[in-house]
Amino acid sequence: MSPRYDVAIVGGGIVGLATALALVQRSRGSVVVLEAEGRLAAHQSGHNSGVIHSGLYYKPGSLKAQTCTAGREALYRFGLEEGIPHRRCGKVVVATRPEQLALLELLEQRGRANGLQRLRRLGSEALREREPEVAGLAGLWVEETGVVD
């Protein structure tokens, strides 16, 4: 007799595996993950940038902003709990032309509205101190951004 499962998840990428993990953790019965490739995360999940996004760019109050913010903090916690290499290294968004300064201001407002607490506006001198190889008029330091392996 073939094994029987309560749930079958098709696809062993990050979404399929995260779904399986959530179901198992919530004791939702027996779960099987079906993957056509010879290994897990063989496609996009295995080739992503590894960036932990801050939520800076999304419209405040939108579902995308809410899920990005919640997901960012959940990923940092998960990395700590499971010993997964990651760094909250931050990033700099740079305005290189005068017409970009208004967009930098808008991004700062969006970031604050999306709950980013550690945003800092950088003038050209502070920008060079933070990142010597960048030439710009101003920047925005976004500490919540990170990377994960």
Q: Which residues are catalytic?
A: 53
DSSP the chain: -----SEEEE--SHHHHHHHHHHHHTT-S-EEEE-SSSSTT-SGGGSS--EE--STTSPTTSHHHHHHHHHHHHHHHHHHHHT--EE---EEEEE-SGGGHHHHHHHHHHHHHTT---EEEEEHHHHHHH-TT---SEEEEETT-EEE-
